[in-house]
Structure 1
């Protein structure tokens, strides 16, 4: 019960932060010397032309950061992009995941999302060949165990309804069914624009008929290093009735673009658990090379990685992931790419 209250509290805090932001924009200023009244005022020691140039530089930097992050998420097929876009698309994936201590595993997956125009263009039918990977940053040990123990639970059909869908906010309701459970819940996302920095709060609250309540929360902070590099820090935490403690992680990624069809991601993950005691149970380093080949809708990805699990004395456990994808109704992202980088 305490976990449920904590989950709902986290979701409410995120929603209230968005509501207060909107109210702040729409409310009229009152009398008194308040910070809000100073916005848009003259800057000391600067002429009017210099102020206009400074404001223009700020706006350009902010727009460039947001557009770069959107293109990166789209190119890497990141759930930050997929879960928040009410579009029709399908993806077939075949991956081979190998770790020295655990052997190899071939994993096929498909993801079909159909926009339903008869429902005010706000609903989307989702058919997945595996569980929705939204917010999934657990290490391969947990992923492997989950896939082996729940093969029958990997097929999911869901309906997603978007209450709000814009650059600042995204709020959607899900209801889904698998072979042995049902679920329903909300997903909320709010962007904060800090100029050269961008913040992203996202929360997914669900109820599963087999495991009860689950709440996943993450916060991104990202900024552009230069025209070719984007840095992103991600903090996330999981609350679940189905497991003890509060597993959480800290992730750092540097994205490097080469062209509209080639990009690299350098990633490090530090994964913690709180039960039976607080512990850094795994460290993972990974480099992802992703490239379109022959066609815009064909993608290849190679990801060498190494883990340092605590239960193996921090001994390195190297591995590699090969992935091939075919996208149906794909957007190559060339228009967005040229908008950002040219």
Structure 2
């Protein structure tokens, strides 16, 4: 059994990979020209090692730093799983714990430069019955604006100190044709802030190319009260390989502390150019039911996302044009740059994957 890594050691291990955010080199492998239709094949391809990389001392140091932290994450997950849930007569199971480090920077003409740094840690406990998972999130997004959630954008500088949450998640439970996740945990600050969340989803085929997805979330924090998010999405495959997907989303969010509904309509086009590059295009409109009952924003954006180093480092660039209410609907061009790093020994990472969800079937038919 592995020994638990001290917290100070984990801090030191984190320092080196974080330093790579501004100086990591990209690979020189030629872009692949085709995409496998099977999502499992795509995930395996993401894990393959680029054969044309130059093995310089700096590249070796980068690889060793990544490997060291990856082993630390794996050892923590394996130790806790074996300590908490494994019986002596049970065989070993694959542990898929992982760490994601993400940095977003956004600049707009009428706004300012905003920056968001987020760490997400998922601890896998494969020996725990009924798929309970331990989730550590440095910045939960439950009470973010609906537009921020749906567009995946940074809406302003945030102080994440004390906002980390820890929760146990019961995932993959079924209620008929509904799939559910249930979280119960606590926000790690004083005074402690307990919370609970439930997410229900259902996926149904409409026609040969159209698929619908219904999602309903409810969340409750002791400090902020109740919130809900309702979402109806439609997916359309533009080609047999499903490398080009059109998506339309209608969503509504209610937060008790704001006492108003936020509404959003968005249209998106995903183009998986090859195993290293993804293009995304988005346009939409948002509104709320506050005192003004007005449109809050119009936007159009395009993004270029690339796997820039092996299977664990990704870069995204998103230019966008908005017409927000806070600037009297005057045009506000801007750009967002996102850098993500993943650390996992056994989990197959496909950060660029955009797939049409599979129809939900009852648990007895899985």
TM-score interval, smaller chain:
0.5 to 0.7
1: distance between equivalents of 2:167 and 2:293?
36
Q: Deviations over 1:226-265 (max 9, x none)?
A: 2442100011111221112211101110001110111100
* 1:189 corresponds to 2:189: no
Structure 2 residue ranges without an equivalent (≥5): 1-36, 47-94, 355-366
TM-score by length of 2: 0.63
Seen in structure 2, the aligned counterparts of structure 1 residues 262 and 168 have a Cα distance that, compared at 3 Å, is: farther
Residue 314 of structure 1: how far off its partner (Å): 1.3
Q: Report what 1:261 is aligned to.
A: 276
* 1:144 corresponds to 2:161: no
1: distance between equivalents of 2:126 and 2:143?
24
2: distance between equivalents of 1:166 and 1:263?
35
**SS of the residue aligned with 2:147?**
coil
Q: Deviations over 1:28-66 (max 9, x none)?
A: xxxxxxxxxxxxxxxxxxxxxxxxxxxxxxxxxxxx7xx
Q: Report what 2:259 is aligned to.
A: 244
Among 142, 166, 170, which residue is 1:161 paired with?
170
Q: How does 1:40-51 map to 2 (within 5 A)?
A: none
Say which structure is richer in helix: 1
* 1:287 corresponds to 2:299: no
1: distance between equivalents of 2:300 and 2:169?
34
**SS of the residue aligned with 1:138?**
helix
TM-score by length of 1: 0.67
* 1:103 corresponds to 2:112: yes
Q: Is the 8 A contact 1:167 1:191 kept in 2?
A: no
Among 297, 312, 324, which residue is 2:312 paired with?
297
RMSD of aligned residue pairs (Cα, Å): 3.1
* 1:214 corresponds to 2:227: yes
Q: Is the 8 A contact 2:146 2:253 kept in 1?
A: no
Residue 173 of structure 1: how far off its partner (Å): 1.1
Say which structure is richer in strand: 1
Seen in structure 2, the aligned counterparts of structure 1 residues 134 and 190 have a Cα distance that, compared at 3 Å, is: farther
Q: Report what 2:127 is aligned to.
A: 118
Q: Report what 2:17 is aligned to.
A: none
Q: How does 1:19-58 map to 2 (within 5 A)?
A: none
**SS of the residue aligned with 2:261?**
coil
Larger RCO: 1 or 2 (CA < 8 Å, sep 6+): 2
Q: Report what 1:277 is aligned to.
A: 292
**SS of the residue aligned with 1:118?**
coil
256-265 vs 109-118, greater mean Cα deviation: 109-118
Seen in structure 2, the aligned counterparts of structure 1 residues 90 and 168 have a Cα distance that, compared at 3 Å, is: farther
